[in-house]
Amino acid sequence: MVSGLAFAIGAYVLWGMAPIYFTWLEPAGPYEIVAVRVVLSLVFCAILLSASRGWRRYAALWRDRRAVAWLAVAGVLIGINWTIFISAVWLDEVVQAALGFYMNPLVTILLGTIVLRERLRALQWVAIGVSIVAVVMLTVGLGEFPWIAIVLASTFGFYGLAKHRVGDRVDAISGLAFETTVLTPFAVVVLVLIALRTPVLDPTGVGIVTGTVNGWHTFAMLLAGVVTTLPLLFFAGATRRLPLSYIGLTQYLSPTLTFIVGVVVLGEAMPPERWIGFGIVWLAILLLIVDSVAMVARGRRATPPAPME
């Protein structure tokens, strides 16, 4: 239990502090960062597959048509999610990214209801309704739709659904290796177009930045594969050691840290309308936490005591 909790905290701390790392990668643009991240993640996954003797599992994965289809969808979704998140950092919208990650559990619950036909409990319905009110308040109060938050929450929610369809048939390293394999051809094309200074992908018109700034910047870019893969491995370790209810309660650590980084470290503005919107979202999260704690308590009461030996 203790080791599982340590893995969960490690994963969510790394994810929550990630915006600081991505600010170090400027002046590289978001598309270059994502493309380099994909390629280096594949390289790091290949090293891990070699170290764990997992190439046979990875090869077997390609013969599972259902897994291939769902992991391909997952790869595209996580690629979009990475691009939007790094773009949010680049556009000084880290706080809105935090909002998206706060909303992700609500999107996951809603998808479970619509797609998997799961039945929601009363507090879950209330939490979803409260989150919708928060989006309306932010849109009206700030005069713009929080599209970054909505896209981040939606893509990660559907990513989780795709991974759910695969189930336990695919281990974490093989799954991520497959997803990055799917994305790598697109990443290579993006890097070529940036090198050609295509305006859409290279708005600054300077071409590839990696390796041209200084040694520290190059080193930071080369860490992209580790930064991507390490928290995923921590998370996989946590899910094997902790009950799902504990994972659900610790997941809010990541957006909370991201929010603190955006407001305190990066100094993003928090007008009253945004505080109100976040306050409503936090109310929705509190309702989910209360509901989760109540479910755990009911489960314990329903479990008969172990017989005396």
**Where are the chain's structural domains?**
2-296
Degrees to nearest 5, angle at CA 130 with 289 and 287: 15
Contact 52, 155 (CB under 8 A): no
26 Rama class: left (phi>0) / alpha (psi -120 to 50) / beta: beta
Confidence grade of residue 108 (pLDDT, cut at 50, 70, 90): confident
Q: How far apart (Å, rounded) are the C-alpha atoms in residues 241 and 254? A: 19
Mean pLDDT of 197-224: 87
Query: Residue 154: which of 186, 190, 107 has the closest Cα?
Result: 107
- In terms of Cβ atoms closer than 10 Å to its own Cβ (0-12, 13-18, 19+), residue 168 is exposed
pLDDT digits (tens, 9 = 90+) for 114-148: 777 777 778 878 888 888 888 888 887 777 888 99
Residue pLDDT, tens place only, 227-282: 988 887 887 777 667 665 566 667 788 999 999 999 999 999 898 888 998 999 89
Q: What is the pTM of this model?
A: 0.87
Copy the structure tokens of residue 100: 């998206």
For 218-240, the pLDDT digits (tens) are: 999 999 988 988 887 887 777 66
Residue pair 264/19 in contact by the 8 Å Cβ criterion:
no
